[in-house]
Each structure stands twice: as C-alpha cells, then as structure tokens.
Structure 1
C-alpha cells in the first residue's frame, strides 16, 4: 500500500512547528543542554558480620516498647479527652507508684502537687505543664500529650493518652532531661542533651495501629547548634490555656 500523502495544510503546519522549535533553540542557547552531575559513587552492599551466630528469638532486656495501660480512677466525660483533668491524671500516676514520690527521688513533685489549682503565685510550683491536644492515633479525635516535672532534678515526664471504650488509656511514656518536645503528624519527638559536646539525642514515638500504642521508631544522636539540625517546634497542635486545676509554667 503506497504511503499516505500529506496535504498542503499538513506540510505548512509541520514547517511552522519546525521554525518555532528552531527559533526557541536559538534564543535559549545552551540552557537546555544536559549538564553532567559528576561521577556516581559505587554502590556498596552491606557486609553481614558473624553469620555463624544463631539469630536471637527473644529480647535480652525489657525496655517497654509497647505502652498501653488504662488509667484507673480518671473519668472521661462524654468520651471527650479535653474534659479530663490533667492534674487528676498525674495524681493517678503518683498513686500507682507512691514509693517513688513519698520516699523516692521525686518527693518535691508530691509536695508541689498541692499547689495545682491555686491562682496566681500560689500555683506556680505546680509541676504539671500545659496540656496539648492533637489527633495522634488517626481516629479523628483529639489525644492528650501531657508533661510534668519530676523534682528534685531536671527530669520531665512526657505522656500520651487516648480514649478507648470510654476509658482513658496511656499509650506512651518517657522521662528524661528534656530540651524540646514536638508533635509531627502521628509522632512525638523528644530532644535531650547528650554527654557528648555538640550533640543531642532525638527520640521519636509513632502511633502503631496494630499495637494500639506509640512505638519508639527512631533513636538518634545528632549534631546540635549552628552546624546541626535545629528543628522548630510544631505550632499546629492545639494548646489549651490552664484551667482551674492546671497551672501554667
């Protein structure tokens, strides 16, 4: 079958397009040319060490990877976690381990809890920090991120609570010398000073729907200061002003 012949109109259009392409190339010079990115480093596969070792089937140490515990004695009115008293939550935790506070290392925390709820200067020693609310579990409802100081010392306790079956459930807990806490997506990020000058620890807990808990997904040591990462705290979390039973720090 002989090849189809182009009509004069098709030829004219083809010539016009070619002229436009030629003009664009002439006007741009070499701007559209490919530029070499340099040599590509050779990929190196990981080396497996000690292949003769028998793989471990259970952890050697219990580090509390999964934290999910019902908080007894703290009601959740209308399943709304914003109506939960943060001070009551901390008092419930102290009640669980009274020895740590009555005769342990955090006796001042127990003493200063009596200042919570007081107005003005009388309530400034309350160790409970302002609560933050954000949906960390992905169920469309707000969860509670709570912090309180463990005194004496420079320790801050960080907790996350959610509501399951009309009950308040703690799904994450950590305490350390804390230099910053951030909320990002479904994660809680805690930064702590390191004993190595110029470095800090960065730990990240992320909600896991299968475990129904916040899991420690990242544990890093990073450079701090002007030469290292300095993430800005998230400002998108809802911040509640202190109520009658929670004092601002």
Structure 2
C-alpha cells in the first residue's frame, strides 16, 4: 500500500509550491483535518419550563362569561333543494334568523331594528343599496369534501357585521358558527375562518380564528390575538361589545 499523501515527504521548488498551495490546503482539510466526528456549534440556550404563578389559586369551576364557544343549531323554515347548501337562499336564511330572534330585530327598542326593515327590500344577497345581506361564499371548512356557506349581513343601525357559517346535516341547514362585531375583514385560511376587527390601540387589530371541531360539530374559536397591522396606522373604532364577542 503506498504511503498516505498526508505523510509522504514531498520536496518542491518555489514555483511548484506556489501553484499547489491551494490544492495542498484543500487536501489537508479534506483528507487529514476532518475526522468525520461531530463538532460542537457553541453553547446552546437552556430550555425554560413554564413558571406557574399563584399555585394556591382554586381552579375555576365555570367559565367567566359565555362567548358562544359552540354553535350548532338547525335553521328552521329554509328550503334546501337537494340537500345542497349552495341552493339555500341567503336572504331567506337571514329572515329566518330574524324570525327566531324577534327581540333583537323587530320589537320596540330592538338593537338591530333597521336590519329587519331593510331585509324586506332584499331580492338578491349582495345587490348593494339598502339590502344588508352580503354576497355569500362557499368553502369546504369541515373537510368532508362539501362546501359550507359563509354568510355576512350588516347589523343596523349600529354598523356592526354578523358573520355566520352554515353546513348541511341530513338535508337540514345547520348553523355552526356565529359572531358579530365591528368587522374590518374576513378571510378563509385553509379550513379556518379569520375575522379581523379594529382595535382601540393605534396600529393594532384583533384577529380571531375559528376552526372546525368534529367532536363538537361546530366551528370553535381557537385563536384570539391582538396583532400589529401592516400599515401601522391610527386606531380604528373600538369593537362594540356584542354577543359572541371573544373579548
């Protein structure tokens, strides 16, 4: 076996040494300096476990307030031809909600009485003008391969927006998510619904995310965050306290 190139003595003239200096350095690093063993990358930060505060506190026995975590309710009085949620009339869906909650819409002093008046002028959702019902969207939010209906309508005269999600179970229309607030945007992210609302803090907004939970058969509020906006502008109107608000 010939001697190792790392140990064989070689005598070179100066020009040869200059020409082969880089190659010799590379050979030394690759063949002699690297043993193949793992090398340390420096000290690592130690893991820190959560530190519990006030361990003597008695665990709460009930929720502090009801934010409507689970909404799973059959909508009565809405025709659903073929059991397809796309066949549901959005205006009829909102009228059914008004009929089911007259105290919010039709009675004296009802907070959303203007919505009830304007709904009678609606022919098609999203037609603009005085109709408070927004154009519906259809997305698969439950992962069963069928579309759900995401519906929004204005709550007047307060200027808030109601956001609802409906699915179909046994040819019946079922509401699986309900929320209303001062809404600045609604997005679908994967199979989650994200609602953005203005914050009273300049440059920030609330972002609430609902995701499908197969055990509860409803969209649950899984994230409630206060995040800086891209523009970082002035504060918007503080969200109005409303039923279903996560704050």
| Fold agreement, TM-score > 0.5 | yes
**1:115 matched to 2:121:** yes
Structure 1 distance, partners of 2:221, 2:77, is 28
Runs of 4+ in 1 over 6 A off after TM superposition: 36-39, 118-121
User: Aligned-pair distance for 1:153?
Assistant: 2.1
Which is higher, the Rg of structure 1 or of structure 2? 2
Q: Does 1:76 align with 2:109?
A: no
2:91 partner SS: helix
What is the rounded CA distance, in whole Å, between the counterparts of 1:147 and 1:106 in structure 2? 14
Distance 1:81 1:204, change over 3 A: same
The alpha-carbon distance between structure 1 residues 98 and 172, as it changes in their structure 2 partners (threshold 3 A), is same
Please say if residues 109 and 127 of structure 1, whose CA atoms lie closer than 8 Å, have aligned partners that are also in contact.
Answer: yes
SS state of the match for residue 120, structure 2? helix
Tell me, which stretches of 5 or more residues in structure 2 are unaligned? 2-21, 234-247
Asked if residue 182 in structure 1 is aligned to residue 187 in structure 2, the reply is: yes
RMSD over aligned CA atoms reads 3.1
Map of 1:60 onto structure 2: 64
- Structure 1 residue runs without a partner (length 5+): 1-5, 7-21, 229-249
What is the TM-score with the length of structure 2 in the denominator? 0.73
- SS of the aligned residue for 1:112 comes to helix
Match of 1:166 in 2: 171
Q: Is the 2:119–2:131 Cα contact (8 Å) retained in structure 1?
A: yes
Measured in 2, the distance between the counterparts of 1:110 and 1:205 equals 27
State how far apart, in whole Å, the 2-side matches of 1:107 and 1:116 are: 15
| TM superposition score normalised by structure 1 | 0.73
Q: Residue in 2 aligned with 1:106? A: 112
Task: Give 1:45 deviation, angstroms.
Answer: 1.8
Q: Which has the higher contact order (CA 8 A, sep 6+)?
A: 1
- What is the CA–CA distance in structure 2 between the aligned matches of 1:56 and 1:163, rounded to whole Å? 36
User: What pairs up with 1:37-52 in 2 under 5 angstroms?
Assistant: 40-52=44-56
Residues 206-225 of structure 1 correspond to what in structure 2 (within 5 A)? 206-225=211-230
Query: For residues 117-196 of structure 1, what are the structure 2 equivalents within 5 Å?
Result: 117=123, 124-196=129-201
